[in-house]
Amino acid sequence: MVVMKFHPSPYERATSLTDVAMGLLAAGMSLDLCASGGFRSAVWAWAFGLLSLSSLLGAAAHGFAMSERANTQLWMPINLSLGLALGMFVVGALNDLGGESAARFILPAMIALGFGFFLVTLWKPGTFMTFIAYEAAAMLFALGVYGYLFLAGSLAGAGWMLAGVIVTILAAAIQATGKPGKGIIWYFDNNGVFHVIQMTGMVLLWVGLRP
């Protein structure tokens, strides 16, 4: 019988716990949006659902001691889920800006781009800056979209969405500039703090999406 052991690093264990919390929160939001019905809700439900999957798998990758090979293999579905989640994020923002027809038109391309990101991670595993660049492009697009919609006053909830995007960008900046295993707050390193701040951004986005 295989017995899994917790990771010896307290920073990794703390990151794992915040990953679990984020995964459960994202799953709840996904289910809530599924119940709302409609294309817009479905796109965002997929975005949160994929984020939930990547977070729960990330909890295992951070929280348990395993070989480098096993950890690398576990990151494969994580990267795929993250790539597709960001694609859904862009589709959701475009839907709010240009309507459902435009969003449906770009949906296959964003799914293909998500798989393309995944293939890049297979080609160069462990290249975290690839994800940062992909996430930055998606978030800057969303920032422009919801900033415009908020100023134009043409979308209910645009202010909440804009705030959620800004918080997400802040969280990503902390994750990119911090160092794993170096505490920012107690045993929370850049990854753990990223998860905590990101959960705030998720709540803001969810509030903006509520009918």
Reported as a single tens digit per residue, the pLDDT across 118-158 is: 998 888 766 667 778 888 899 999 999 999 999 999 999 99
The answer to whether 190 touches 179, Cβ cutoff 8 Å, is yes
Does residue 211 register a pLDDT over 80?
Answer: no
Does residue 2 register a pLDDT over 60?
Answer: no
Does residue 90 register a pLDDT over 70?
Answer: yes
* pLDDT at residue 180, rounded to an integer: 85
Sorted by sequence, the CB contacts under 8 Å of residue 195 that are 6+ apart come out as 15, 18, 19, 21, 22, 55, 171
Model's pTM, two decimal places? 0.94
* pLDDT at residue 128, rounded to an integer: 67
Q: Over the stretch 148-205, which tens digit does the pLDDT of each residue have?
A: 999 999 999 999 999 999 999 999 999 888 888 888 888 999 999 999 999 999 999 9
Measured from the Cβ of residue 1, the count of other Cβ atoms closer than 10 Å reads: 2
